[in-house]
Structure formats: structure tokens, C-alpha cells
Amino acid sequence: MFRKFLKVAVLPALLGFFACSDDKTGGVTIDDNAVMAEGSSSSKAPDEIDVVIGENLWNGTVGDCKVKTDSDESGYWYIWSDDVDGGASRIEFPVAIGNDYSNDVYEPVIDECKGFCGTIEFGNTPNPEAGVGFLVADYGKTADISSWGGLCITYSSDVPLRISIVSELTDNSDIKSMPQIYLPSSLQADASESTITQCARWHDFSYSPQPSDTIFGDDVVVKAKAIVFAFIGSSSETKKFNIKVVGTYDESLPQISVQPEKGSAN
């Protein structure tokens, strides 16, 4: 099943390359973060997220349209849903997608949301899911992303979400059979803050097909294919999300407090 999700990412990746090749390649570099850390942020736009991460891989608040990877054709956001399994969940966007190059890229969404945002319409099925993701290597290839150390995500979400590592070393037929972490909804974490940051080391990502047999994230990121976010809702719910920043692991930022249960893929 999950192989179909990976194929979904190919078109946005190929088309997104042309969109980003004009003037949207600028991200937040390590040097930029150092300036922000020192409190000198006079050039920062009002909507930018003031989060200092080891290295920001993608910052939607400044209009990045590509996650920093080692290839030009990976790192572009795509969406997926349970319709490939007979479900009816879907993600709707606040603006029409597309640009001068294609009708199938998400640059207008990032510009509008200062992040990657949408409304999830969960289908009328027992365990509906929909999500987003990005390839970390060209389709059919892998990349070693162990140097990231893990991930820090700044986001808002009305529902909990699961982040999985797709790798050559995992069973790519099932998204739930991969090393993963669970993040709380931003409402659950702190009702006074609409946007939160959560960090996890690669070792925090895990999957246990058997209680005595656990696969950890740092075992598989050496041959990674994609990072996939799954929003976990209830039948017929309508919920919102906005992913603002994706960065490498930073132990000084808030760490995940919700862990997958051992011996369970759910």
C-alpha cells in the first residue's frame, strides 16, 4: 500500500524543482540562526517563527518551498490519504494550488499559510487517516540522513500526528510498520499556544513487531527514502493543521512526551 504514497510524491518533486529554481531557494542557514539567537532579528518578517534549531531544514514562515536535502528533485511536500485503501479522507487547502509551471505544486499554499497548512476531512471509516510528507532522496533511491540527529517540528494541529521514517530497511507496504513517533495536537499540549515545537532523536523513532524485537530510527535512516506525517482523527471529523518549521534535532528544545506503545503499530 505505502509504495503508492511514495509515487504520489514524484510529480510535485519534478515540478517543484522549476518553481523553486527562480527565487524561492533561500532558507534559514546556520548563520541566520546564530543571528537570531543573539537577538538581532530586525530583518525578520512579522510572521516568521522565532525558533532557533540546530539547522532549519525547511522554514515555511519565510516561504521555503523545498526541504534541504542532497538532491534537487527531493524535499518537496506532497499529500496522501487513505483513499488508496478504500477510505474517503482528504486534505483541502485555503488557496488554489499551482503556479506558472504547473497546477500540481503547493507553493501558493506555503505563501498563504506561512507554512504547509490545510483542512483534513476525515472519511466515514473506522480509522481514517490523511497526511503529508517529503522525499529525502530521488524516487527509487535512498539518502543517509543520520547526521540530522533526529527532527524538530514547529507546528499546529487539531489532532495528534504520527511521523514515520520510510527506508529501504523497512517494510514499505505498510506505513504503520516503520519506526515512528507520536506528537500531540497543539491544543492538547498547551491550549494557550496555537503553535508548538517538539523534538525527537532518531532513536526515539521505533516500531515493535514483537515485544522483544524493536526497530529504531537510527537503524534505518542510513538508507532513508521519505519522512511521512499522518494525522490521526475520528470518523467524519474536520480538523486543521499547519507545519511551520522542520529542523534537525536540538536537545535544547521541547522533547516528545508521547511515545508509541511497545508491541503496537498503532
Query: Taking the domains of the chain in order of start, what are their residue ranges?
Result: 2-248
**Predicted local confidence at residue 210, as pLDDT:** 80
**Predicted local confidence at residue 82, as pLDDT:** 84
Q: Give the three cell numbers for residue 129.
A: 487517516
Residue pair 206/221 in contact (Cβ under 8 Å)? The answer is no
What are the per-10-residue average pLDDT scores of the chain (266 residues)? 57 53 35 30 46 77 94 93 81 92 87 96 91 95 97 96 95 86 82 81 93 91 97 94 96 78 39
Single out the residue of 211, 174, 190, 200 nearest to residue 255, CA to CA: 200
The overall pTM is greater than 0.85: no
**Predicted local confidence at residue 212, as pLDDT:** 80
Residue pair 52/39 in contact (Cβ under 8 Å)? The answer is no
φ, ψ dihedrals at 217, nearest 5°:
-60, -40
d(CA 133, CA 81): 11
Residue pair 231/129 in contact (Cβ under 8 Å)? The answer is yes
Q: Answer positive or negative: Cα dihedral of 121, 156, 21, 227.
A: negative
φ, ψ dihedrals at 4, nearest 5°:
-65, -35
Single out the residue of 74, 91, 60 nearest to residue 137, CA to CA: 74
